Every structure is written in structure tokens, then in C-alpha cells.
Structure 1
Amino acid sequence: MAEKASGGVQSVERAFELLELITNAGGEVTLSELSSFTSLPLPTIHRLLRTLVSLGYVRQLANRRYSLGPRLIRLGEVANKQLGSLARPHLKKLVETLGESANMAVLDSEMVVYIAQVPSPHSMRMFTEVGRRAHTHDTGVGKAILAQLEDDTVRDIVTRAGMPTPTEMSIGNISDLMLELKNIRERGYSIDEQEQEIGVRCFAMAVPDAPTPMAISVSGPVSRVDDAFAKRAVPLLQSAAEQISAQLNAAAAS
């Protein structure tokens, strides 16, 4: 029988630790880098990697580096669909109350991926396709997620992804981004101030204590999504984020 740790199977815990370390490193590492990230003995790391490679959850590249394997893609897609299904009733309630589109996104390596949306009933509205990947530094959900992370992690994410500026309002350097994240942490929510698309404003909030970094948002044309809208939207976003968090944690504990 496998040795157990903290009520779990130790070898399984160690395997997931390696997967998370590879993920945090940007999806690709050397054996020596993994060894420096963990206290696990090198033979143990090597044995676990061989098992993960044989199962398709890790790949060994031609340059002898290790990367996340293709079998994780399907797991991630199914998990995202389930998260989206859980969040959709809360997004629907936001749309019914506020009249603007609501979204949910999760951090996927150095980008955010939208996993759920309920569109506004207005003909002129913000629309984001579920499954779309976007940068973190110029989206409301992305900045809300970044504000929950350590500064070094933020720098690593945006350095790997780059900081394109789709509009003249977009943040284009790390110093300005760090200042923006400080403001977000103080007020508790983020604003996409026409940074993705001119004429579109978005208010977003991270889901607290989530198993993976995620955020929800409401967005629409600046003519409707103004300061008065923000006063109504922010408390509702906070309530929805807390309810989603409670559901996720209840599901994890069951």
C-alpha cells in the first residue's frame, strides 16, 4: 500500500506537486530546476516524472526539458466547463440586475481564458467568446487575478506573455501595471478602462479562496457602464464572487 501523508496518498500528492511546479514555471522545466524547487530527492522526482510521461501528463522534450502533457488538456477543458456551469446562474443574475454582459475567466499559464458568459439583452453589448484567451495586463478579469498574486509571479507572467497595447489606454510596462495592481488591491476590484476595446468599460473582481485563480466581470459600453453603474455593480460582483467561492469550497470538502 502506498505511504500516506496528511490523510492522502503521498505518491499522488508528490506527483501533483511536480505538475504544479511545472505549471508555475511556465509549463517547461529541467530536472535540475525541479530539484531546486522542491525538497523531494532527485531519484523520487525522476521516478515520478517517468510515470507521468508514460501516462501522457508530462512530455520529455528533445532538449531533455519536461513540459505539461497533452492529456492534461482534456482534464482542463472538462474542469473549465464544470466551473462555467457552476458560475452561470450567478452571471445570469448579474445580467438580470445590471443589464450588461457578465463573464468568468480563469488563469491558464500566462493568459486568462474565458470559461462562461451570459450576454446583455442590449443590441449594443460586449461579447467575449467562451474559450477565448487574453492577456492579463489589459483585461478586467486578468488584472483582478494578477492583484491576488505575488509581485514576482506577476512579473514572470507578463514577461512570458508580453504586454501588447491594443488601445491607447492599455498599460504597456510593468511599472505602471504594478501601480495599477496596488490600486486594485486597495479598492477590491479592477477596471478595464477601454484597454481591450475603445468604448468598452469593465468592472471585475477575483473569486476569493478559489482552487485556481479566477475572476468574474460585468462589461458594456462606456455610455451605460459609468460611475453610477459601478456603485450598483461592485457590491453585486462581490456577493456573486463570495457565493461562487462558497460553492467551490463546499464541493471540494464533500
Structure 2
Amino acid sequence: MQRALRLLEAVGSHRDGAPAKQLAREAGLPLPTAYHLLRTLTHEGYLRREKGVFLYGDAAERLAGGGAQQNRRTKISDSLEHWRDVIGVPVYFAVYREGEIELVAVADTPNAPAVEEWADFRETGHAHALGQCLLSQLDEKSRQDHLDRHPVQPVTRYSVPGQRALMERLGSMERMKPVIERQEYALGTVCAAIPITVGTTAATMAISLPVHQEGRLLPAVEQLRSEVGALVSSLAFSISI
């Protein structure tokens, strides 16, 4: 395993690939051993051979992509945890990708727990602040397509009653203003979300509080919003996570 990893590292140091003899020398391996491992790695898809040189194959690129993805998610989680501690509320991050609402990360504590996903967030975007904030950022065609696939249905007695009412609400939302939701997804909980747009990707951050602490909601989300520019910068992420 270690010898194979040394060969993979050697391949990775050459943008345009390298021949077997050079890779064997850089990995400190006998040439017959290197040839055997290169053939195995090529057969498994970790390498490919083109015009006498070896380059990363699809399997290695998937591994590298997975590592980069995990690194981005870790940065996001760390940042959310920081703001959870600073503001003292659960913090959520979500994106709209490939026609669906995706909750990427949540930071909470036992004393300030996040809202339990008792109904699929993807299917109930009309009923929670995260979803409403993301839907408000979509163009009309994309928004209608989403609602055709996930029809508006009340989740609690406080939920928006139907698509017409939801569309009116989304249309009246002011750009870059927090989206407030009171007990529409979970009884006893109030939420606020702020829009984040990076390129063409819609994203949002949100917070939640028990309804008896509703007085803290607006000050807390304004505190988050005032720092969100620095937060996005510190994440240094492409939202293709």
C-alpha cells in the first residue's frame, strides 16, 4: 500500500504525467516493482497511460475531489460553530442545487438544539425559513418547477395555506432582507434566514429559537447578517460542495 501511495504521489507531482522509469526513481522503487504497481493502479482506474506517461485516472480524481469536498465542508462547519458560539443560537447553512434544497451543515449545542427535521426539508421548503429564502432567490421558472415537484401543503396550522399565498409572499420579500418564519415548520420554533448568492448559486444561512425567545430573533439574525460578508470570505468556498 505504501509503495502504491508513493507512486501516486509521484504521478501527482507531474502535471503532464511521467514515464514509468522516472516514477520508479522518484518513488524509490525497483523498476519491476514499479511496473507491476503501475499496471495494477491503471487496471483499478487510479491511473491512466497516455503516450507513454502515467496520469491520474478517474478513481484518483474522485478521491481527490472527495477530499477537497470534505475540506470545504469542514471549513463551513467550523465557521458555523464559531457563529453559534458568538450569537448563542443554532446556525444552519443550505444551498439550492440541481433543483433541490440541500441542508449542508448545522451547528447547535445540547442547550440550544437545532430544529429536528421531522418532515423532509427538500419537500417542505415552502414551510421553513431556509426554503423560503432559497425559493425567493430563484427565477420564476425555476421556482415554479420546484413547486410543481413539491406542492405547497400546510405543515402546521401556521404554514402558508397554498401556492398562491406563497408566491405572493415570495414576491413581496425585499432583496437581501432576512426571511422570518414563525412556527410554520415546527411548532414552538421561530426561524430567520438571510440570502447568500455566490455566482449563480442560491444559498442561505439561518438561525432558530424557541418561540418564547422570539424577542432575540431579529437582533441575532442582524448580528449574523452584519458579519456574513466576512464569514463567506473566511470560508473561501466555491459553493459546488
Structure 1 and Structure 2 fold alike (TM over 0.5): yes
Aligned to 2:210: 221
Letter in 1 for 2:155: P
Structure 2 stretches lacking a partner, 5+ long? 1-62
Aligned counterparts of 2:127 and 2:143: Cα–Cα separation in 1 = 13
Report how many aligned residue pairs link the two structures.
177
Aligned counterparts of 2:238 and 2:191: Cα–Cα separation in 1 = 29
1:76-134 per-position Cα deviation (integer Å, ceiling 9, x unaligned): 987765543232233223221332211111113443121111113416653459x9644
Aligned counterpart for 1:177 among listed residues 166, 170, 177:
166
Letter in 1 for 2:162: N
* Identical aligned residues as a percent: 20
Q: Secondary structure at the match of 2:125?
A: coil
Aligned to 1:196: 185
Aligned to 1:152: 141
Aligned residues of 2:94 and 2:205 also touching (Cα < 8 A): yes
Q: Secondary structure at the match of 1:213?
A: strand
Letter in 2 for 1:158: L
Deviates more, 1:108-117 or 1:139-148: 108-117
Structure 1 stretches lacking a partner, 5+ long? 1-73
Deviates more, 1:170-179 or 1:214-223: 170-179
Aligned to 2:16: none
1:202-250 per-position Cα deviation (integer Å, ceiling 9, x unaligned): 11112132552211111121111x1x31332222222343234435667
Output the TM-score relative to the length of structure 2.
Answer: 0.61
- Structure 1 residues 108-123: aligned runs within 5 Å: 108-122=97-111
Aligned residues of 1:199 and 1:221 also touching (Cα < 8 A): yes
Q: 1:80 and 1:198, CA in 2 relative to 1: closer, same or farther beyond 3 A?
A: farther
Q: 1:230 and 1:179, CA in 2 relative to 1: closer, same or farther beyond 3 A?
A: same
Quote the RMSD (CA, aligned, Å).
Answer: 3.4
User: What is the Cα deviation at residue 197 of structure 1?
Assistant: 0.9
Q: Secondary structure at the match of 1:188?
A: coil
Aligned to 1:135: 124
Larger radius of gyration: 2
Aligned residues of 1:104 and 1:117 also touching (Cα < 8 A): yes
Q: 1:164 and 1:78, CA in 2 relative to 1: closer, same or farther beyond 3 A?
A: farther
